[in-house]
Structure formats: C-alpha cells, structure tokens
Amino acid sequence: MDQYRASNKRIGMDLKNVRAEYLQQELHVDDLHQDPFEQLRSWFDLALKANLNYPNAADLATVDHEGQPHSRIILIKDILDDGVTFFTNYESDKALHIDNNPKVGLNLFWKELDRQVRILGQSRKLSQAESEAYFQSRPLESQISAFASKQSRVTDKNTLLSSVANVRMQFQDLDKLPCPPYWGGYHVKIHQFEFWQGRPTRLHDRFRYRLENFQWIIERLAP
C-alpha cells in the first residue's frame, strides 16, 4: 500500500503562488563565448563577486544499477579546459553509481542571479597524486572527518565519534593526515552545457552548447 496514503495525513504543501521576479539582464547569443568553459568561467566570476552562499555548489546526478537517478550537492573545485572536478568518498553511493555508469549530470543554480547551468559529462577518478594534493590543502578537521566517515553507510553517532577518536589517536603526532585510499577526486569531462538566464514574462534565455565533430554548436532552446 502507498505509505503516504496509509498515514492518512495531509503532508502536501501548496507552492503554486510562490513566484519569482526574473529581472536580470537579457542573454544574447552574440554575448556568449564560443568556448563554453569561458562562458562558465565568466558566470562563475560574477557568482563569486556576488558573494553568494556556496557559489560552487552543484547538484550531481548519478544513476544506480536499477536505473534510478539520485542527486545530491557537491562542491566543484576546479574548472579545467575540458571539465570540472569534485571530491568525495570512493566508497560512497555516488562513487558506486559512477563505477557502474560514469555518465553524470551537474546542475549549478545561482538563485540571486536567476541563473542555472546544466552540465552533462563523463566521470573518471583523478590520479592519487591529484587527490593527495587537494587533500593536503584541507583543514585538519576536514581530513579527520574524511578519514573517519564511511560515507553513505548506515551508522550511529557513537560509532562515528569513536571512529573520529581512533583517527585522532592514530595520527596524533601529525598536523596533516595522508589522503585515505577510499577518498579522492573525480574529473567530469563535459560534452554538453546549458546556460539559463531567467527573464521577466517567463521568456527565459536558454543556450545549449553541444559537441559535434569536436566543435561546440550553440543553440537557443525554447524556455
């Protein structure tokens, strides 16, 4: 039986009257960079200057072995010439999904700027040296958490706290920890972008970049 109907409670919330005003400037095809990575960098520049919370947060979509999509927020750490990077636990659910199917989606949403960037790409693990280099730049407390947490597995608070205490004990003489083998980065090689600019009257500007014969084709999409 449907568990929501079985509970016999009204759990819905009517959000139909929540409307945003999209007052940001128009996006013209002539203003777009031919290279979508330049376009992404210029939008990121503005998001960074706008002092937003989590400007580099992106929703990462993966698909499990049953074809069920999952999504969760991660932080983009680099924009490269052909993709972006993020870091996580290599035994987490998302990593298991990627092992099985490296195709991922990423979605950046800067609500204060009425902007969304949708990305499609293919993930691969970064080298151990690259993961180690980033891990070394993290504060000690983040390193300890990465070491101690079996991300995505069922646990309880005491197990987590004792795992943290064990890691502290094991590395008590060090002020930086080595990167654990089950933690590291992914490089998402991008083959499609969509830049979305919210506009008044809902005639939002959408531009897709897709690769065809190694060339980026830019197309306007209906909103």
Ligand X SMILES: Cc1cc2nc3c(=O)[nH]c(=O)nc-3n(C[C@H](O)[C@H](O)[C@H](O)COP(=O)(O)O)c2cc1C
- Point out which residues bind ligand X (CB under 6 A): 54, 57, 70, 72-75, 86-88, 92-94, 151-152
Nearer to ligand X, 52 or 218 (CB): 52
Token readout for 40 is: 């992404």
Kindly provide the b/e burial profile for residues 25-34, where b requires at least 16 CB atoms within 10 angstroms of the residue's own CB: eebeeeebee
Active-site residue set: 202
Q: At what angle do helices 140-148 and 157-170 cross, to 10 degrees?
A: 120
Residue 67 Rama label (left phi>0; alpha psi -120 to 50; beta)? left
Q: From the CB of 161, what's the least distance to ligand X, in Å?
A: 19
Q: Which helix (H) or strand (E) covers residue 217, if one does?
A: strand 215-220
Residues present in the chain in total: 223
Helices (H) and strands (E) in the chain — how many of each?
A: 6, 8
Token readout for 68 is: 């069920």
Nearer to ligand X, 69 or 223 (CB): 69
Q: From the CB of 15, what's the least distance to ligand X, in Å?
A: 21
The span from the CA of 175 to the CA of 140, in Å, is 7
Nearer to ligand X, 59 or 171 (CB): 59
Q: Which residue has the tokens 């830019």?
A: 218
Q: From the CB of 65, what's the least distance to ligand X, in Å?
A: 14
Question: Is-contact 87 65, C-beta < 8 A?
Answer: no
Q: From the CB of 71, what's the least distance to ligand X, in Å?
A: 8
Nearer to ligand X, 68 or 201 (CB): 68
Q: From the CB of 25, what's the least distance to ligand X, in Å?
A: 27
Nearer to ligand X, 22 or 182 (CB): 182
